[in-house]
Amino acid sequence: MAKIIVTGGCGYIGSQTIIELLKKTDFDVVSIDNGINSSENVLERIKMITGKEVKNYCVDLCDYEATQKVFKANPDTIGIIHFAALKSVGDSVNNPVLYYHNNMESLLNVVKCCQEFNVKNFIFSSSCSVYGNVQSLPVTEETALSEVVSPYAHTKLMAEQMIKFIADQYDINFILLRYFNPVGGDLSGMNGEDPVNPPSNLVPVITQTASGVREKMLVFGDDYDTRDGSCVRDYIHVIDIADAHLKGLDRLIKGTNTSSYEIYNLGTGNGVSVLEAIKAFEEETQVQLNYEIVPRRPGDVAAIYSNSEKAKKELGWIPQYNIREMMSSAWKWQLYINSKN
């Protein structure tokens, strides 16, 4: 059976993508994840949800020989979905050398193995952070890239540029997916965002506050030039994000891509403010949040949201879940975590 290797497969989006691959395709799936910000416990949850086992290689992708051994052990691999990367904006500011080394070296090693083992289909996990502080909304794939504001975002931008040169010269086809703000969890309630380090993303902060893990949450600023003064973002359900990877992979394997290097935005196209997100959570769960409005946080842009018409047209990808459904699934996951602690 043909195999797909998912790097970072024990992480938030990686594990959900594995679940969707196992549910909706006939591929055998292999994970590579060294556990730096994830746990192999997710493999048991994947088995509970799908009824299928997934092998994870606990390998640091910055180690070329170790990465090469995984490819050698799986010669029937036909595609790569590359999530593995360090991703905290704040941590990248404090540890830029670590981020440049880890995110770039790991990508290079995986691409080198694709060359060596004739793997021609590659989905790369990029980010809307490559757009920097945009001057107009909504953001399309043609929006001019501004100066990025963190080493993390810079690694994604560098990776995109590097992949473009590689795609021009080698027989590998790439699809790059620029996510906006992935949220939510598996509809079973048994999988979701579970980083080793404390989360800073809005939705897990909301659910942790609602469940008492945090005493209160902070809303950074209510004086932005937005409809209610709080920052506006484009939240997208993690299942919809995973589905886009399946559709991108299908496009490459069938050879319906029109270029060896294609980029797609992944967002709903609907901006949701922080205060609107809080209200959606409270209405959906009937749980009141203890939150405090505090001054703006450095580095936050007022608003960013996507135009994802290209993905809809070329990938046939249409987001299925609204903000209340995102909050509902995230809450189910938080309750599941609490029940296991």
Task: Round to whole Å and give the CA distance between 225 and 128.
Answer: 21
Describe the chain by its helix, strand, coil percentages, rounded to 5: 45, 20, 40
Catalytic, 152? Answer yes
Cα separation values, 37 from 9, 18, 107, 153, 195, Å = 11, 17, 17, 18, 6
Tell me the three state secondary structure of residue 331: helix
Structure tokens at 317: 């990808």
Task: Round to whole Å and give the CA distance between 199 and 88.
Answer: 9
Helix orientation angle between 274-285 and 323-340, rounded to the nearest 10 degrees:
70
Under DSSP, the state recorded for 9 is T
Is the distance from CB of 239 to CB of 182 less than 8 angstroms?
no
Active-site choice (152, 261, 264, 336):
152
Task: Round to whole Å and give the CA distance between 144 and 302.
Answer: 18
Q: Any bridge partners for residue 292, and if so which? A: 218
46 φ, ψ to 5°?
-60, -40
111 φ, ψ to 5°?
-65, -40
Is the distance from CB of 245 to CB of 17 less than 8 angstroms?
yes
Q: Any bridge partners for residue 175, and if so which? A: 123, 262
Q: Any bridge partners for residue 28, and if so which? A: 3
Q: Any bridge partners for residue 120, and if so which? A: none
Could you give the residue numbers annotated as active site? 152
